Every structure is written in structure tokens, then in C-alpha cells.
Amino acid sequence: MAVSTLVAVGGIGLAFFVFLKNPRAADDIANRFAGLHRVLMNKYYVDEIYDATLVQPIRIVSEDGLWKGIDVRAIDGTVNRVGEMVVGSSEILRRLQTGSVRVSAASLFLGVVMILGYYLWR
């Protein structure tokens, strides 16, 4: 416990000396060890590796596969086709439903004749 405390106090003292008392020393060390400085400043490139190996593949699968493939094409496509079928069938049914009593009576008469004809021919 004493050793870890001594190392921590030594690190704090070194940081105090390098960054507060002699800031040019910090710049000299950063220039002398530029590669190490770059790796430490970029946090060992952990975020970049994580983004390239996990985030981007999940984003690509989510956008291209799940969203554009399943949601847009399959689900939205099915809903839109059902809507188009309703519109198409309503075009036909709209012509039959005119509101005219004569047309309704003629349709009823035609239906009765067709049912009677079916039973008579059978």
C-alpha cells in the first residue's frame, strides 16, 4: 500500500513539475515521442476500432437490410398493395352503387332470375 501511494504521489509531483512549472518540457517530450504521443492522444484508437468493427456493420445491416429491405419493401409494400387493391375494387363497386332505385331494383331482379335459373337448370 505504501509503494502504490508513493508511486501515485510521485506521478502527481511529476505532472505538477512538467505541466505547471515547466510547460515547455511537456512540449519537448511530446515532440520527442511523437508516435507514442499520437497513440495516447487518440486513446489507443479504441473508439476507431470499435466503430469500424461493431458500429458500422450494425448500422449497415440495420439500414440496408432491416429498414430498406424488411420495413420499406416488405411491410410498407404490402400495406401499399392492399391500399391499391381497395382503390381498384372500389372503382368497380362505385359504378354499381349509384343510388338509383331503378338500378337497385334491376339488380335485385337480375339476381332472382339468376338464382331461379340456376335451380331450374340443375
32-66 residue pLDDT tens: 999 999 999 999 999 999 999 999 999 999 999 99
Instruction: Say how many domains are in the chain.
Output: 2
Rounded to an integer, what distance in angstroms lies between the CA atom of residue 71 and that of residue 62? 10
Structure confidence at residue 29 (pLDDT): 87
- Phi/psi for 40 (5° steps) reads -70, -35
Same domain for 104 and 77 = yes
Look at residue 98 and tell me whether its pLDDT is greater than 90.
no
Residues in the chain, how many?
Answer: 122
Same domain for 94 and 61 = yes
pTM of the model: 0.53
R_g over Cα of the chain: 40
**Contact in structure between 83 and 77 (CB atoms under 8 Å):** no
Same domain for 96 and 82 = yes
DSSP annotation of 1: -
Rounded to an integer, what distance in angstroms lies between the CA atom of residue 99 and that of residue 21? 96
Rounded to an integer, what distance in angstroms lies between the CA atom of residue 26 and that of residue 40? 14
Look at residue 11 and tell me whether its pLDDT is greater than 80.
yes
> Which domain covers residue 69, as residue numbers?
44-122
Same domain for 62 and 7 = no
Look at residue 97 and tell me whether its pLDDT is greater than 80.
no
Look at residue 92 and tell me whether its pLDDT is greater than 90.
no
Predicted confidence band of residue 95 (pLDDT cuts 50, 70, 90): confident
Same domain for 108 and 78 = yes
Same domain for 66 and 12 = no
Same domain for 48 and 36 = no
Same domain for 109 and 74 = yes
Same domain for 105 and 70 = yes
Look at residue 12 and tell me whether its pLDDT is greater than 80.
yes
Same domain for 93 and 62 = yes
Same domain for 48 and 35 = no
